[in-house]
Amino acid sequence: MKNPIGSVFALTLAIATTSAHAEFSFNEPRPIVQIANGKLQGVERDGMVMFKNIPYAAPPVGELRWRPPQPPKNWTGVRDASKYGEACPQPLVFGYTNELVPGNEDCLKLSIYAPKGAKDRPVMVWIHGGGLIAGASWEPYYYPPGLIREGVIVVSIDYRMGRLGFFAPQELIDEAKAKGEPFGNYGIMDQIQALKWVRDNIATFGGDPKNVTIFGQSGGGRSVTWLMTSPAAEGLFHKAIAQSPNQLPLRDLRKEVFGKPGVIENDNKFVASKGRKSLAELRALPTDEVMLTPQDFAEGNFDSSFIDGQILVGDPLPLFAQGKHHKVPLMIGTMKWDASLFTVGGVNKDAFTKLMGQDPKIIDRLYAKYPAQCDLAIGAQMMADGFFTAAVKLLADSANKAAPSYAYHFSYLTPTLRNKYIGPAHSFEIPYMFGGLDTVYSAPAKMTAAVSLCKTIIDAHTVMKEKDQWPAYWTPTTSPDRKDDRDMSLQMSKSWASFAKTGNPNYDGKATWPRYDISNDVMREFTNGPQKTVKNLDRERVDYQMKSIKTLYQMQ
């Protein structure tokens, strides 16, 4: 099956960076801690104790490129942990990765944010988004003052991405088998290695290694669902939060899946294109020769996660349905306009309808009242109804059979932007959840003029397609001075922290957020005003897409 959806599956970037990561001049105390590898000196600021750029694995360079992460090396003296390091290598997308490129392969680092005087606190390990091809742990909107005020410790990790993080030509597979090592999904292996580091070291920073919650958004949210089904991650976390974890099918080693070629075939072509005669020569390639190119994106020929049989053993949706996941409390949700992600690649409504074997007449009826009546917007919403909302409902329902599971829908958009958006776009919840409303673009003080939603969406897509530039339209935007925005941030920070503490997102003695089961279909609604729920969210549209998803994954 050839992929008729163009580059939509290639451009699954999560969020756009808006400013350089901030560093500080210090008048504050500079605490020192001792861990197994040596001493670290951090900094206190905003009521937080912060230790940045801590190695959790050896640099994956030289003979360690395309190998599972190895233990970090010891150092002598006191390592400065007051500043962030470089991001992992990634392509340049103007408006998104400007401050992250060129990056450095020596990037397997993490940062820790803890309340002052912390002891035995719940730990939340953040996995950043970016479609497994872009992003970094220290982007400004991941600064977590809201969560820290609620009494948890936040650990934010970097991991290998793109062709450095996901790569499996036949020569590498053969080498790994000879060494008795897993292969290919190196970025997920990095996440697992970081969790092992947290297990072994977090008590030194005041964290409870027996109460660890993994949480992530977009590609990070997908990673959460993969870790919940990975045998290699068993026992390394105790709760999980998946934010906007689209459930497009994983790639296969050999066969084409959903328009994507087999991994070995695809990666063998890259090896052949470089004319290198050995793995040693391949590992000696300069970083920029390994990086993905715009052509890779356009053709969908980039390296991403795949089923390898050891780290990733299958797609989460069927595995959850079969009870083949780690039985830990789960919180999972989606955005009102998560479809914005799929407008990046330019979804063709008719082609997607054909690909999924759907009835065009039913599609026309179901989406007749959608607020943006253009092919790009409707096609993207069809995908979102299936691979976001339907998938969230299915995963939450399956998980709830074994451990408490909670589903949410985020529909809050700062008031002055409501004329130009269908709803909060993919990633817009992040600054509210972390509590850093002033770390992203500020919304206009007055209501923006009414616009054509279709024209605005199409214009943003055109900027990305023709200029390789990420539009501000898709970038999180808040109003830090508005009470509504601050109240929303407080609701989210409290819910996320409460879940990390207890496995239940309800707080302050309230019980407004029920466990999820698909027969009742009640989700927490993050919207204007007091705490609310929504029942049967977009039920008719989502149910129709859900049938296609079940057929795709042979879950009928």
Q: Model confidence at 534, in pLDDT bands (50, 70, 90)? A: very high
Q: Per-residue pLDDT tens for 369-378?
A: 999 999 999 9
Q: Which residue has the higher pLDDT, 510 or 202?
A: 202
Q: Say what percent of the chain tops pLDDT 70.
A: 93
Between 308 and 94, the more confident residue is 308
Q: Is the pLDDT of residue 147 over 80?
A: yes
Q: How far is 442 from 477, CA to CA, in rounded Å?
A: 6
pLDDT for the residue 468: 77
pLDDT band of residue 152 (cuts 50, 70, 90) is very high
Which position has the higher pLDDT, 464 or 507? 507
Q: Is the pLDDT of residue 526 over 50?
A: yes
Confidence of residue 484 (pLDDT cuts 50, 70, 90): very high
Which one, of 192, 186, 193, lies nearest residue 161 by Cα?
186
User: In this structure, are residues 75 and 38 in contact, taking their beta carbons and an 8 Å threshold?
Assistant: yes
What does the pLDDT read at residue 345? 78
Domains and CATH numbers, the chain: 32-258+302-338+384-416+424-439+483-552 (3.40.50.1820)
pLDDT at 2: 35
Q: What is the mean pLDDT of residues 222-236?
A: 98
Label residue 190 by pLDDT band (50, 70, 90). Answer: very high
pLDDT digits (tens, 9 = 90+) for 57-84: 999 999 999 999 999 999 999 999 999 9
Question: So what's the pLDDT on residue 432?
Answer: 98
Distance CA 217, CA 428 (A): 11
Contact between residue 221 and residue 205 where contact means Cβ atoms under 8 Å apart: no
Identify the CA nearest to 243 among candidates 414, 93, 440, 396.
Answer: 396
Look up residue 305 and give its amino acid. S
pLDDT class of 297 with cuts at 50, 70, 90: low
DSSP 311-351: S--S-HHHHHHTT-S----EEEEEETBTTHHHHTT---HHH
